[in-house]
Structure 1
């Protein structure tokens, strides 16, 4: 985007003023009410091909909407000599003469008056949040011209290609992750792979999202995705049953590596990336190690995509290795998180050299959340592997529909009895809304560790749940979701949710 101004835009404003931009922004960009958004969805159609697209632009000189991806707005600009158009997602002005988007302080002020500026399309920590994608997609399904409670657009089964239920359930969770869905349906990926023989997983995910939200109801066969996974993650190749959690991490890692070439940041710093995967899934885990001799605290912060939570008793089967443990198995997700974030005595066999004492001392270690991701994924460690011993933990762990992570934040710590032992506080009466989450997907494992099957629940609308069992999609109740065993739990930040 150019921030140096545009002579063509300045000449247009001098001759015609800003009224046309005001009208376009008020009625076709801001669209603050439900009625306004429905009107926008009905009206924002390319005047040439009669279809809707998230790359739709409105001519600033006349009444014309045109596709950017199909070059209809470009053809209109060339034939009419109309050099300026407005992007109907961001509200930015594009100059065809300059070949760039133009920043203009006066127009930005108008956008602010209408209640939605370019910055409003940017979420927390710079995460891009496209708007009105669902409304524009309604045009692609002629049977549904409005948002309704029984709309099933986005629901589609996946054929099991031979013990690939582990992949199917993760694909269902990812395709129903709101911000990830919006990114892949918004034509934002610019593939930069040089070797044509090396297929891009991000390009395939774009096609997969288009298949899911095309309105087609027949089950999809994800053979291209399976082939790419086998190519790029050889440890998952073959028709043996794989672990859904392992596939999730491998998929996120591949998408991250195929996306990060577009962000212009140094690949030498893996923690400094603004690709869509890191924007949505990456959080910051703070580790505080406190010297028991001098109370010196050493802090490190590491990125994470998910949190793995133990379901068994603490090591040793009792509370001796934890300052505040009772030795019992956790009884809920909240209890799992409390155990995960409470101080742990490292013991005399794991002494750490203190930076203040300059000698090896016993210490305590505590993990807390420094930065929460947009999507929080919790992995309940149900598969226990030890020397000659493998079992599945089928204990029912209750998990809530709405989750507040405030008690587990680094900012919620306090000092205990003057020893500066950091403990997580219980939820205060005033909890930050930025730390609240809503459940939107649950992956379950049925059977034993030797022979099992993965299914999952996904939330399509705010109060509508569906069970996905490979090619079979059935409606489910919230009660059945919350009573399921639970293996992977996906929560979305409420502050970034929209209907």
Structure 2
């Protein structure tokens, strides 16, 4: 969530959309060491210096992970690029629309003394969320230029990224202890509903209930929207 500068309180007027935009923003990572880049530089070095085919093939066939022994086995740990750190940009993307979307609001943090504190404050969230607004094409990334072999592209059909709020979890207390309550939406059917087609409004005819241990009682939509949510569950329409 968006915080007041240097504080543990969430900024007044903070929304779920603000949090998602911040979560998906490009982040500058300092002092980053890329093992894949190291293997590329090592391959060029071995090729120029006339290394054996066995050594070159070892670099080529290596997966380039953090635990390989290429640096020590080929005696390249003293090469200039072996201890070179740089900065990169890291950015998360939404590659597919899940059937059930769970959003956790990170309310646990550390203060300047290293003590665990709870981030307090309200984050406004909608009953209907359009997740398509946060896909790569909507936040300035060209998805065609990103290697997406292990992901699916977000669907482009109408309403494919629309979600309806079904559950809100609220925590009372401090970090490490306290009590959780749940707001749950239920579609209450009546005799007049029999034989009727589904309503176009995803939030119509829904009743909300508060659940706290064995206590269950009906609440209004304003009660739900006023919760300081820790978890939000959205169901895809």
If the TM-score is normalised by the length of the shorter chain, which range does it land in? 0.5 to 0.7
Establish whether residue 441 from structure 1 lines up as the match of residue 184 from structure 2. Answer: no
Cα drift, residue 411 of structure 1: 4.0
User: What is the CA deviation profile of residues 308-334 of structure 1, one whole-angstrom value per residue up to 9, with x for unaligned ones?
Assistant: xx45479xx6xxxxxxxxxx7881111
Residue equivalent to 1:471 = 214
Establish whether residue 337 from structure 1 lines up as the match of residue 20 from structure 2. Answer: yes
**Match for 1:380 among 101, 105, 108?**
105
Answer 1 or 2: higher relative contact order, Cα 8 Å, separation at least 6: 2
1:4-403 correspondence runs (5 A): 310-312=1-3, 331-347=14-30, 349-352=31-34, 355=37, 358=41, 361-385=86-110, 388-403=114-129
Distance in 1, Cα, partners of 2:95 & 2:18 = 19
Distance in 1, Cα, partners of 2:126 & 2:186 = 18
Distance in 2, Cα, partners of 1:474 & 1:379 = 25
Cα drift, residue 393 of structure 1: 1.1
Compare the two structures and name the one with the higher helix fraction.
1
Q: What TM-score do you get using the length of structure 1 for normalisation?
A: 0.29
Establish whether residue 480 from structure 1 lines up as the match of residue 162 from structure 2. Answer: no
Name segments (4+ residues, structure 1) moved above 6 Å.
Answer: none
Distance in 1, Cα, partners of 2:157 & 2:86 = 37
Provide the aligned length of Structure 1 versus Structure 2: 161
Cα drift, residue 350 of structure 1: 2.1
Distance in 1, Cα, partners of 2:125 & 2:36 = 39
Please state whether the residue corresponding to 1:480 is helix, strand or coil. Answer: helix
Q: Kindly tell me: are residues 330 and 350 of structure 1, through their superposed partners in 2, closer, same or farther at Cα, counting changes over 3 Å? A: farther
User: What is the CA deviation profile of residues 107-146 of structure 1, one whole-angstrom value per residue up to 9, with x for unaligned ones?
Assistant: xxxxxxxxxxxxxxxxxxxxxxxxxxxxxxxxxxxxxxxx
Distance in 1, Cα, partners of 2:230 & 2:108 = 10
Cα drift, residue 394 of structure 1: 1.4
Q: Kindly tell me: are residues 483 and 431 of structure 1, through their superposed partners in 2, closer, same or farther at Cα, counting changes over 3 Å? A: farther
Q: Is the 8 A contact 1:353 1:361 kept in 2?
A: no
Q: Kindly tell me: are residues 339 and 379 of structure 1, through their superposed partners in 2, closer, same or farther at Cα, counting changes over 3 Å? A: same
Q: What TM-score do you get using the length of structure 2 for normalisation?
A: 0.59
Distance in 2, Cα, partners of 1:344 & 1:369 = 16
- Unaligned stretches of 5+ residues in structure 1: 1-309, 318-327, 421-429, 495-499
Residue equivalent to 1:426 = none
Q: Is the 8 A contact 2:12 2:122 kept in 1?
A: no
Q: Is the 8 A contact 2:13 2:124 kept in 1?
A: no
Q: Kindly tell me: are residues 449 and 363 of structure 1, through their superposed partners in 2, closer, same or farther at Cα, counting changes over 3 Å? A: closer
Cα drift, residue 412 of structure 1: 3.1
Q: Is the 8 A contact 1:466 1:476 kept in 2?
A: yes
Distance in 1, Cα, partners of 2:12 & 2:24 = 15
Compare the two structures and name the one with the higher strand fraction.
2
Instruction: Name the Cα RMSD after superposition.
Output: 3.2
Q: Kindly tell me: are residues 388 and 460 of structure 1, through their superposed partners in 2, closer, same or farther at Cα, counting changes over 3 Å? A: same
- Unaligned stretches of 5+ residues in structure 2: 42-80, 146-155, 188-204
Distance in 2, Cα, partners of 1:434 & 1:415 = 19
